[in-house]
């Protein structure tokens, strides 16, 4: 195995991103209460990141009940939190492209066991993770804990590697035991994120889309689309962005046009069946010689 200098500048930036994310996530979670606005909490988190001298690695995700991922409020979103909901906050930070990614679940109802299932699954995964450990073994730990609570892991969502300006790269960290996968190596930076549900264990795409990323830069005929694309390339050429980060009454229509032309990638909200609940827990970590170092703890 190749020697890796874990004190190198990029690892220090991973650590700084993790520290900022931990402070941001804790502060944002305190603002999640009945009557509070989804948009206010998302914008608060993103502003906190920027005030700390970093940048969001992706738009703040606020998932409610059956929603699992890619749920971020729109620019005119008037949604509020309500008593009884299960709320998941998933936030990313980057320092010069080096990323931290973490999530917590906030209980506005009576979902203690479901939240604990995801949190304990994450703890078990962290305990076993280290150099030479197969990713399928980590998934098996996650599955065992969640099923012991009487719930199901969301099996078509997974943890992932983190690289420079890339929030989802190899290795994939499954949320169930599988034979395929790879062994972790010293210097890998990974986000492990168990999802637990009282539903069947899979999610699918919903109708709502607020998050996009640049798929390819190419010539477009429409003037407004061309102007927006130029702004996207200048500001967000390597990481996802929110529709609400752009001004203009026709922005959403233009984003849809660019998506249809295969210029942008869209990320519809991923959700389980109506009436189900999904909890999430996530940490970013560096694989070390003797285990892992959490950057978002």
CATH value at residue 148:
3.90.230.10
66 shares its domain with 142 = yes
Residue 202: CB partners within 8 Å, gap ≥ 6?
A: 154, 155, 156, 272
- Any idea what the CATH number is for the domain that residue 241 is in? 1.10.10.10
Query: Catalytic: which of 67, 188, 193, 210?
Result: 193
88 shares its domain with 41 = yes
Establish whether 3 is a catalytic residue: no
248 shares its domain with 156 = no
Query: Catalytic: which of 43, 168, 183, 265?
Result: 168
23 shares its domain with 167 = yes
Establish whether 67 is a catalytic residue: no
Residue 8: CB partners within 8 Å, gap ≥ 6?
A: none
Query: Catalytic: which of 111, 134, 160, 283?
Result: 160
Establish whether 90 is a catalytic residue: yes
Annotated binding-site residues read 70, 90, 101, 160, 168, 193, 282
Its domain, for residue 137, covers 9-203+273-294
**pLDDT for 89:** 98
Q: Consecutive 10-residue runs of the chain (297 residues): their mean pLDDT?
A: 87 98 98 98 98 98 98 96 98 98 98 98 98 98 98 98 97 97 98 98 97 94 94 94 91 95 97 98 98 98
Query: Catalytic: which of 67, 101, 119, 188?
Result: 101
Establish whether 168 is a catalytic residue: yes
Overall number of domains in the chain: 2
Query: Catalytic: which of 46, 55, 65, 90?
Result: 90
Domain assignment present for 172: yes
Query: Catalytic: which of 55, 120, 210, 282?
Result: 282
CB 228 within 8 A of CB 258: yes
Annotated binding-site residues for substrate read 70, 168
**pLDDT for 198:** 98
Domain assignment present for 2: no
**pLDDT for 237:** 86
Domain assignment present for 28: yes
245 shares its domain with 279 = no
Domain assignment present for 3: no
**pLDDT for 53:** 98
**pLDDT for 2:** 63
37 shares its domain with 57 = yes
85 shares its domain with 221 = no
Domain assignment present for 4: no
**pLDDT for 249:** 75
Q: Long-range CB contacts (< 8 A, 24+ apart) of 104-111?
A: 104/25, 104/29, 104/280, 104/281, 104/282, 105/279, 105/280, 105/281, 106/29, 106/32, 108/32, 108/33, 108/34, 108/81, 108/82, 108/83, 108/84, 109/83, 109/84, 109/85, 110/84, 111/86, 111/277, 111/279
234 shares its domain with 262 = yes
Taking alpha carbons only, the member of 212, 256, 219 closest to residue 235 is 212
264 shares its domain with 284 = no
Annotated binding-site residues for a divalent metal cation read 90, 101, 160, 193, 282
Domain assignment present for 1: no
Establish whether 82 is a catalytic residue: no
264 shares its domain with 184 = no
Establish whether 147 is a catalytic residue: no
171 shares its domain with 40 = yes
Domain assignment present for 165: yes
116 shares its domain with 225 = no
């Amino acid at each position: 195995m190749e020697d890796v200098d874990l004190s190198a500048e990029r690892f220090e930036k991973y650590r700084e991103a993790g520290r900022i994310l931990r402070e941001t996530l804790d502060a944002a979670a305190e603002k999640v209460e009945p009557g509070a606005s989804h948009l206010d909490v998302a914008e608060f988190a993103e502003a906190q990141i920027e005030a700390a001298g970093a940048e969001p690695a992706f738009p703040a995700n606020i998932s409610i009940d059956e929603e699992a991922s890619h749920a971020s409020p729109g620019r005119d979103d008037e949604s509020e939190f309500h008593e009884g909901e299960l709320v998941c906050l998933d936030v990313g930070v980057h320092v010069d492209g080096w990323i931290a990614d973490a999530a917590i679940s906030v209980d506005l109802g009576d979902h203690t066991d479901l939240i604990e299932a995801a949190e304990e699954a994450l703890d078990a995964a962290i305990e076993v993770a280290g150099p030479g450990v197969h990713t399928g073994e980590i998934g098996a730990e996650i599955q065992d804990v969640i099923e012991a609570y009487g719930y199901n892991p969301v099996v078509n969502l997974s943890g992932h590697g983190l690289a420079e300006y890339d929030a989802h790269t190899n290795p994939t960290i499954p949320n169930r035991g599988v034979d395929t996968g790879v062994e972790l190596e010293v210097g890998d930076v990974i986000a492990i994120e168990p999802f637990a549900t009282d539903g069947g264990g899979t999610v699918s795409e919903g109708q709502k889309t607020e998050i996009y990323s640049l798929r390819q830069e190419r010539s477009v005929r429409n003037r407004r689309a061309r102007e927006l694309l130029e702004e996207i390339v200048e500001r967000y050429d390597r990481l996802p962005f929110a529709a609400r980060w752009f001004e203009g009454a026709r922005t959403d229509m233009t984003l849809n046009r660019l998506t249809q032309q295969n210029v942008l990638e869209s990320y519809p909200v991923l959700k389980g069946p109506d009436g189900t609940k999904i909890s999430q827990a996530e940490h970013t970590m560096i694989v070390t010689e003797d285990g892992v170092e959490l950057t978002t703890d």
